[in-house]
Each structure stands twice: as structure tokens, then as C-alpha cells.
Amino acid sequence: MTDQRWPAALAEARLHVVSGKGGTGKTTLAAALALALAAGGRRTLLVEVEGRQGIAQVFDTPPLPYAEQRIAVAPDGGEVRGLSVDAEAALLEYLEMFYNLGLAGRTLRRMGAIEFATTLAPGLRDVLLTGKVKECVGRTVGDGRGGRGRVPLYDAVVLDAPPTGRVVKFLDVTKAMGTLARTGPIHSQSEGVVELLHSGRTAVHLVTQLEDLPVQETLDTVDEIHEAGLPTGAVLVNRVRPSRLPATALTGAATGAGPGTAGLRSGLEAAGLFLKDEEVDGLIAETVEHAERVQVEAAVRSRLDAAGLPQLELPELAEGVDLGGIYELAELLREQGVR
Amino acid sequence: MASRTTRAGRPEHLDLDALLADRATKVLVCCGSGGVGKTTTAAALALRAAEQGRRVVVLTIDPARRLAQSLGLEELDNEPRTVPGALARGAGSRSGGELQAMMLDMRRTFDEMVAGHTTPDRAQAIFDNPFYQTISTSFSGTQEYMAMEKLGQLSATGAWDLIVVDTPPSRSALDFLDAPQRLSSFLDGRMIRLLSAPARAGGNAFRKLVGSTFNLFAKAVSTILGGQMLADASAFVQAFDTLFGGFQERANATYQLLRAPGTSFVVVAAPEPDALREASYFVERLSAENMPLAGLVLNRTHPVHATLSGARAREGAETLEASQSDRLELPYRRAPSDASSPGSELAAAVLRLHADRVESAERERRVLGRFTRAHPAVPIIDVPAMSTDVHDLDGLREIGRRLAA
């Protein structure tokens, strides 16, 4: 049986691109997703491309070098590796591969030559970064049976992508290639990247919160993703807080009628709480704010529903997000069908 | 506010009204990481200052659509426009105030800068160069550079007595300070000259030092980028050459403006670890650059409105819920009369809510505690979250009141 929150098509994806408005918890949920997908003894790779060292912060490890290394172990034996891709290092890697620069590569980097080349054509930077991601998705190892069979090294690759404002431009490698030479090694690699990104092996997920601006950006980005012909994944609704109020009290509170002071006071007294007027007023003020927020959430949620994408929900963690929180979020993703 | 008291002591209160009222405050820069409410804060401060009688212009970078509309910024024309409705209804508005707003058009600002420094023919040659298109729209420091350039222009006109600046939504707050320098050093850089005219730029010693490696590299780069790209870059650099001096001078002048008396920085952060970590870096950086920090705006906090402890609230809710479920399961048994009052379900919900709220206020206080221990001298103002979105002048006025509380 498939859970519609994580349809079978998403379970097939090998590359999970995670974007979202800044501040919504994009990196946190990319990390939780990599951990959730590693369950059951699988191996996943979590990649960042903006040099922020966000992965190291989330997993509380020293800054990641330009090399894949283990950053977390899933509860039942799976493994998450992390990689911070850097466009300049990726370019050097290419040059090494095709031109055998040897030590000279480092000299070039010191001179600023590499930065120059990646800056001169902004498309090049994106092509290099996505190219490295594609290489990771496609890398294989022996199947461990001693024969010639090979299996993918990573069961899934999760990309902590640029935020919603930039992500489609970043993934639209076809456009970026327009600024580059029509032939040569990077060009042919890019064709493979385009093929991967526009196939069912990729899913672009968007992280949001139930607030006006993040939801609006999510909807705008969904349109952009469709226009660019990229495959959409799920919407990850982050920091969902429970609605504590009974439905009847909710509308009353939100429309300014207040939750009914007399009834509330007698209820509080039944709980053994005999409070001063200003305390009761304070509780009412908190309740009204909550009710207003729940109404805003309901309104933006219906706009989000109209996008028709699968949705997963993650709660606001009372203790904030630390390493334990990532494991908790990963488990919640598993419970909602992520595999 | 009681919710901010920490064991490390109470940080000083940031008095933004005093800052806005001080005629010596000429430039106010709002900075912080993305998504913390910088633009809204800048707009609310500008509106408040104008309604207190100052002639204000606010430079926004990339406002959300509805906020832009509320400021009358439907058209992007790179010039300040009077904000309709500002000053009209502000309670206690003093005469003489004025509010204008503009949204930065990075490409246009760059074009104007080029046009202002060279002949029309040369300017046109630069505009037509594809490499200029890249630099003026996609280079990662351009937006920051142009924000600084625009600030310099606004300041030079002397038309306003307060300029409030929103900073670009960089991934890190520090980019705002570094990017202009990065762009000018890139444009002025040795590499670009070397590739465009190696013989002229490098000199013999340099060429010998790098030797054939460089030729190999140039070949590799042109394989990747195509020969035309290098030719365009070369033409661009030659056309741009005469402008460098002027650009550098302007960038330096604006940088000096940021350190001049009359400029104040307000760091905006949300009560989240990442945003406060960025705020921390920024505070350290400002201090290293001798740039004057007014204080920290801690945006979207959730202070408690009642002093009842979280534990007692939870306990009370449990008592009420237990007696409710008793009644449901055992309808024949008469519940204790006081616990069956019609308000008990509501009271239980209200108590749960309060307990949640105490918990999140405590978390926010712990997160802020890390910042204040590192920077005990930075004045702070909490701005409690609004439960609905801000997209009109009344909303901005309310934010302004909270900023000045």
C-alpha cells in the first residue's frame, strides 16, 4: 500500500533536491530526509553547494572538506555521508581529469584564476556544482559478489539546494549551458546533468511554513519548476504547531468576541487556579493571538492544498533543533511514508 | 521586558525612538540574515520617524509584493516616491514629516553609474557587451555594491534628513560589507587583464613564474567558456578601464559614509540559533570596522502575557481533562460539580496554550542568552510576533509601536 504523502514515484527518485524560503528550515529538513532515506541499512549522501557549512552545524561535526565523509548513522545501521561541494574545487577536479595540471592547479587557485573562471560565467558555477552532484548519483561500486555486477554507491542523494528565489535558475542547466562552449568535456557532462534533472530519478521538494510569505514563495516556485520542466516532489510543511482550542472557542476568539471570561474563570477555578484579573486577561490575550494564527494557517493551508502536491508535516520541536531533533524529524518522515 | 531577564543580567534596552528623534542620526542601516524581517523593520522605522516629523527616505531591496504595494512601490523606477497615506492618519503626527520609499533596481543603478562616468558612446559599448550583462545582473556582489552606490547617491542629494536602508537578502549578513570590495577587486583584478591582454598586464617576470601552466590554463578556460567569452571580457575590461578609478573612489566614499558619525546599524534577528549566530558575527564585524551599532532588534518573539508557570498550567489542564474524561466514560457518575462547569474544556485548552507559550518563550530566552553572554553591551529590543501578516501602513505602524516599546 502506498501512502499518498510519499507516492511511489518519490520512492523511486535517486536525487532529492530540497529548497525553500530562507529561514524555513531547509537545511534541517534536508538532513532529516537524508537520515530517513538511510534507514534500513541504506547509504545516502547529503550535499550542500553554498559553502555555508550548514551540514556540519546541523550534525555538530567539524567543517566538511571537499570530500565525502560519514556524518551520521541511522538507528538500524544505515549511513549518511556529507559533502560540501565547492565550484572552484570542482573546476580544478575537471581540469585535473582532462588536462593533468598536477601541482600547477594549486598555483592557479592561489592566483585567483579558478575564482575568475567560475565568476566569469555564472552558468559555469551551477554547471560544475550540479555536475558533481550528478557524478555522485551515478557512481557505482562492485556489488560485493565478486563478479562484474555493479550497484550505485548511494541509494539516494539529498541536495540542500539554494533557496526558492534561486533554485530554478540553479537547476536550469540547459540555460546555463548557453553561456558555455558548445563542445568540450564540461559540455558533454552537462547534457547528462540535464537528462538526470528532468527525469523521474529527480524530485524537487520545497520546505515551507504555514505563513503567508513562505507559502506564496512555494506556490510561485512550483510554477517556475513546472515551467522549467523539472519534476516536483513533496511540500514539507515545517514547524506545524497544534491547534489547542476547541473549534467553537476558536472563531469566537479570533473574531474579537474573546473566549468568554466568565466561563473561562469558572473553568480555571475548577482546576484550582484562582487568578487575578490581569492574569486572566493575559491568558485571554494569548488565546486570541493563537486563534488568529490558526485562522491565518487555515487560509494559507487551503492555498497550499490547491497546488496539488503531496504534503508532509513536521512539528515545531519544543527543544529547538539539535542532533536529537534531526533523528526525531527523520522518524516522523518515515512514519509519513518516506522511504 | 521580564521575559528577557537572564542569569547573565539584563541587557540594555534599545531605545529606537530616541535614535529616530536624534537629528544627528542621518543613516540607519538594517542588516541581518535572510528571512528575519529586515525589510519590514526598515519600513516600520522609516514610517515612524516620518510621523515624528522627519524627512525620511527608505531604500528597500526586495520587498514582498504586498509590502511594496503598501509603500506605493508598484512601479520599479529606481527613484524615491512619496508613500501615499503615510502621515495622513498617524496619531500625534508632527508637521514637517515626509516619507518617500524606493526599491533598488540593481541593473539601472549600474547603468546610471556607468553613464555618469563616461561618454555616451563608450557607455553604449559597455551596455552592449554580453559580459556587462552578466556582471550587472548575476555577479554575486552586484546587488550589495549597487545598494551602497544608491545609498551614496541618496545621501549626496541632501534631500532627506534620514535615510533608512534595508540590506540585500544575502545568505550571510556579512556579505553586505564584503561584496562591494569583492566586485571592485574582481573587475580590477589581475586575472581579467592577464586573460584579456597577457602581454600588457603580467610583465616578463610574472609570465616566467607561471610559465606554461598559464597558457595551458588559458587554453582550458577557453575550451570551457568558448573563445568569444574571452574576447567579450577583454573588450569589456578595455572599455571599463577608465571607469575604475571613479568607481573605486565612490565605493570608498560610501564605505566611509558607513563609518561616519550619523550612521547607525541596527542588526535584526529572529530568536533562532542560526539568525542569532549571524547577528553575533555581524556585531563583531561592525566593532572591528569601527562602525556604530545601535543595537539588536529581536524580531518575532513570543513573550508570555501571564506569569502563571508552565508547570502549574499543565497541571491545571490535566486536572480538567481528567475530570472531563471521567464524565465521558462514566456518564452515570456525577462529576464533581465544580469540574463540570461549561468553561472547563475552554480553560483546559487555554492552559495548554499557555504552557506551550511558556516553553517557547523559555527556548527563545535560552537562544538569546547565548548572544547576550557573548555581547553583554549590545542594547536589545524584543518585537513580539504579530499573529497576522503585515501588508499595510497600519500594520507597519503597529510594528513601529512595538519597535519603540
Between A237 and B289, name the one with better pLDDT.
Answer: A237
ipTM of predicted assembly, 2 dp: 0.81
Give chain B's mean pLDDT: 81
| Nearest-CA distance A143 → chain B (Å) | 35
Output the pLDDT for position B7. Answer: 45
Q: Are A323 and A60 in contact (CB under 8 A)?
A: yes
Q: Read off the pLDDT of residues B51-83 as tens digits, 9 standing for 90 and up.
A: 999 999 999 987 877 788 888 787 767 889 999
In this prediction, what percent of chain B has a pLDDT beyond 90? 40
- Indicate the residue type of A330: A
This prediction has a pTM of 0.84
pLDDT block averages, 10 residues each, chain A of length 339: 78 96 91 96 95 89 92 92 90 74 66 67 79 94 80 96 90 74 72 92 96 91 95 96 75 61 88 93 91 89 94 86 92 95
Residues of A in contact with B347 (CB under 8 A): 263-264, 266-268, 270-271
C-alpha–C-alpha distance, residues A153 and A155, integer Å? 7
B222 interaction partners in chain A (CB closer than 8 Å): 181
pLDDT in the model for residue B138? 67
Per CB-CB distance under 8 Å, the chain B contacts of A315 are: none
**How far from B129 is each of A335, B137, B219, B232, CA to CA, in Å?**
55, 13, 22, 7
The one-letter amino acid at A125: R
Q: Is A246 on the interface with B (CB under 8 A)?
A: yes
What domains can you pick out in chain B, each with its CATH number? 2-305+372-403 (3.40.50.300)
A212, A242, A271 member nearest B319 (Cβ): A271
Per-residue pLDDT tens digits for B93-135: 557 799 999 999 888 998 998 898 888 988 998 898 877 877 7
**What pLDDT sits at residue B402?**
96
**Which of the pair, B22 or B172, is modelled with greater confidence?**
B22
Average pLDDT over residues B371-394: 91
β partners of residue B299: B383
**DSSP letters for B262-312:** TEEEEEEE-SSHHHHHHHHHHHHHHHHTTPPEEEEEEEEE---SS---HHH
The reported pLDDT for the residue numbered A305 is 94
- The CA distance from B366 to B4, in Å, is 9
- Would an 8 Å CB–CB cutoff place B319 in contact with chain A? yes
Cell of B79: 527613484
Contact B363 A293 (CB under 8 A): no
Segments making up each domain of chain A, as ranges: 8-241+316-335, 243-307
Chains A & B: contacts with CB separation below 8 Å: 227
Q: What is the pLDDT of residue A246?
A: 75
Amino acid at B281: Y
Percent of residues, chain B, with pLDDT higher than 70 = 75
Residue type, A276: K
Interface of A with B in 93-132 (CB under 8 A): 95, 98-99, 101, 104, 107-108, 111-113, 116-117, 119-122, 124
Distance, CA of A114 to CA of A81 (rounded, Å): 27
| Confidence grade of residue B5 (pLDDT, cut at 50, 70, 90) | very low
Chain A residues 205-224 with CB within 8 Å of chain B: 211-213, 216
Asked if the model's pLDDT at residue B281 lies above 70, the reply is yes
Q: Quick one: pLDDT at residue B3?
A: 43
Q: Distance (Å) from the C-alpha of residue A236 to the closest C-alpha of chain B?
A: 18
Helix spans in B142-226 (H): 142-157, 175-187, 190-196, 198-202, 204-225
- Compute φ and ψ for B60, nearest 5 degrees: -100, 155
Higher pLDDT, B37 or A99: B37
Q: Which residue has the higher pLDDT, B2 or B95?
A: B95
Residues of B in contact with A120 (CB under 8 A): 131, 134, 225, 229, 233
Q: What is the CATH number of domain A8-241+316-335?
A: 3.40.50.300
pLDDT for residue B334: 44
Instruction: Read off the pLDDT band of B378 (50, 70, 90).
Output: very high
Give B272's contacts in chain A (Cβ within 8 Å).
Answer: 23, 320
Q: What is the DSSP string of B371-392?
A: HHHH-TTS-EEEEEPPSS---S
CA distances from A93 to A107, A110, B109 (A): 14, 15, 37
pLDDT confidence band for B276 (50 / 70 / 90): very high
